[in-house]
Structure 1
Amino acid sequence: MEESKFIEPMYHIEEISKSKPIFVQPLSDPPSVSEGKNIHLECRLEPMGDPTMRVEWFHNGRAVTVGSRFRTYYDFGFVALDIIHATSVDSGEYTARAVNHLVEQIQILEDAARRTKQVQEDITVMRAPHFSRALHNIETVEGTNVHLECRLQPVGDATMKVDWFCNGRPIKTGHRFRPAYEFDYVALDLLSVYPEDSGVYTCQATNQLGEAVTSCALRVMAKKDLIFDTQHPTGLEKIQYLEDASRYKKSDVIDESIHIKPRFITKPKSIDNVKEGHHVHFECKLEPVTDSNLKVEWFKNGQPVTIGHRFRPIHDFGYVALDIIDLIAEDSGVYTCRAVNQLGTDEVSCRLSCRETADIIRATQNEAGLEQIQVLEDRSKYHRTDALDEVTTQAPIFTTSLKNVEIKEGQRAHFECRLIPVSDATMKVEWYHNNKPLKSGSRFTETNNFGFVALDIMSCLPEDSGTYTCRAINALGEAVTSGVAVVHSKKSIYLESQHEGALPRLTQLEDSSRHQRHAVQDESVTQAPLFTNPMKDLRVAENQAAHFETRLIPVGDPKLKVEWLRNGVPIEASNRIT
């Protein structure tokens, strides 16, 4: 049997924890259940961030074997044991034991015929709780996040209990309400607040010597659920004008031969000092309006305008226009509209001046459109109204199971299954990786929508391999389905050349034999070394190259040795110093 390669890390006691394990919330007797039901036991343990902490479970003095029916959890102070499909053999006394580098604490849960006993160290509380910093009143808008914070003394009281109330009623901890209490820091975060969240929030701290209370008022101003007014009045008028079908109705007339040469009734107006990126519009009136032989052309500085995405000409029943989209400085110049038929020609001109802007535009180019996008993306407008909870009479069942996935590193992994009942408001879906709760992050996306349950893992790593379990729980029971993910890793170190053509050239350049000196006959040197050209001082900027040079005689002395020093210390050879 091979020797284990795992080496226990050397912890510094002061960095780990300075307190012994304490169960701040003891185990409680679960209600009597019939065979086949599930049992959940939980308690709270401090200190939470101790890496040397170890939690063990015992049944009637014997260690509990973790398996498909017995599942243990220990995460940031939360200790729990789940017993799946309990039987009469599972009755008895359950013990949770916590051990760290200082001491151990034991929590014992006996069956209904016995009592609950707790073994812990006596802690002396020196004073009653008091808030060194009180809560402050807050006024905000619907949909924003609210943070309530205060400071509490004393700090090391294990019997301290902190409760939050809204208008005198306890706050239910959930996704939107997140309380925090660590050291002397007490806080409550409210996510995406609603007008119904307004009220007086109270934080109550209690220990063996007394209690302390601090309160604040929260006011949430509601937004309109539906916005009926236009967010772009000028654009609405233009749209109504363009959609007016009466402007485009043609009267039935008999084709007549036109004996009038073209003539512009109105001229386009010149436009000056327009910023880059804006749109411009030239328009004029032309007669005759019913000449099928009439031809209209646009010119810029005497050259025909190239019709495309940015240049859009219009000629409809005497209405002549040119729209230029997303102006640039090169669009400046004199624009000419020329009308030609069989009897003659006519033309009008106007000037366009476009002001060049910075190369990088950081500000929005359509403020009204940006506001409209922000309104459309405001999720608070689409929240569902509270509906009457329906009574669920069915335990969760997975109609389809998770499938195994085998992918390469960097690809996306997708697990999905189907779950009933689909309209159970109390249904809770949890994901586990190798029997541990799945960590939340940007790479993990969970979906639970009307019976469709899915998990997407983006840019998979070899560490993501393992068994993924989906557990659905409601008041009547639970269901579990699992799937295996296999992620094949890529090479970490490439030993082959990535540029085969350059490898022979590098080998030739690194061949030191090419630079060896030929043996010459030793000559007797009768002169001491002398620098004929001293080095010069240099002053360069950071990251620039520095070059020092000098001249030395005698030239042909094979015993001459040259050394470089910096501040009196020899310089070591490296890739930066040559």
Structure 2
Amino acid sequence: VTWTKDGRDITHNEHYMCQYSSGVCTMEVQSAQVSDTGTYTCIAVNELGTEETSSYVVVEDRAHEGVDLRKSAKSRSVRQTKSGYSSRYEDSSYNESSYSSSSKTSRSSRKYTEETVEESSYSSRRSDRKKREEPQEVAPEFTQNLSPEILREGDRLKLTCSVKGTPDPDVEWYFNGQLLKSDSHVKIRCIAGSCSLEISEVTVDDDGSYTCKAINSAGVASSKTSVQVTAKPQQKLADPPRFITHPLGLRLNDGDAATLECQISGSPEVKWYKGREQITDSEDFRYENDGDTYRLVIAEVFPEDSGMYKCVAENEAGTASSSFTVFVEVPEEPQSPQFNKFPQSRTVDEGSPFKATCALDDVETVMWTKDGREIEDTGRFNFSQDGNSFTFEIPAALATDSGVYCAKATSSKGKAEWQFTLDVRVSSSPCADIDVLQLIKSMQECCRCLGGNGWNMTAI
């Protein structure tokens, strides 16, 4: 309930005292002033509508005593309806009253009349209206329940159900009793009573009990189901590629055909390289595969085909590679030392000896390198020379000796290189197939190199 005067809200204070109790609305003006003259309106509002009633009030100035203030005022009752406003006005007139006054001590008496203003009356007429019926509350009820699911790890999960109720129920999802919220793994939706929970790729952690709970002011309902997620069978990883035989380095004549061949286990994908550039499978360079045997067939070699080659094998378990050299001779006078004998790529067991020998037509020095670095004479390796023949030997190969080796020859004609690969195979048993006597001999030589006589465990 609010009160207004001439359209402006009246605030409850010492001058205007507004009260509302048990349906009775009162607004009292304390010490009325002429300025309080005006139209007063009482407005009642609730969720179903608005109704108001008005009255015009005149406050007489005492200076106007004896003056005829015949005026008429109208009171108005207004009600807001769906179609607009309805109103009724009632006349409220001033009633004239006569008063006499005399004084016993006065010589004369006089009569005068005083016009008073009868308090404006007002009435309010309420029009009939239909009360809006409150909707009847209905507890939630699932019209479609959740169904159990049996899935494999990685499958898509979608649980659906339908629920109704008045008012519309709030919906919550639970997994093994824990409240679920939408996130990057779980997507939850509920539109017009149709509810769903979706997981794009389930894991074994999503196996369990799922519950959809619907709640409104009339009650609670739940639909529960189970989801079983079976783990994917563990796939046995293939063994990493392993060179059974390595491609051999070749010395060819200009115009020759050549076949580079090797055997590799592990069913890998094989690529061939010259230097750092991959060789494309074509008519000139043809890739062939027959079981574990892989070939690069060169239709015709040219001098520019000389260089370092590499075969790279790769599968999901790992990668292996083997490097080798192809040299194409030309009839004219050679401009560099020529390898008459060259080392080949090999695979040896850990602890076994390895020897690489090369021979050249004209040579002054040969430097041996591993993975691009010169091999230092630490005593674990043997270096020897017999005329134009040079030998590099590892008495007991270790796993760390695996790599790409190169013999770099220098002579008055220039320089030449020959590249090859050593693959040291590690046995399942650390001590299997190791030549113990040879290993001890190598360790003793290492001790002597470090300045000791015989065993020096600190140096070892």
* TM range, smaller chain: under 0.3
Determine which structure has the larger strand proportion and give its number.
2
Which structure has more RCO (C-alpha within 8 Å, separation ≥ 6)? 2
Which has the larger Rg?
Answer: 2
Normalised by the length of structure 2, the TM-score is 0.26
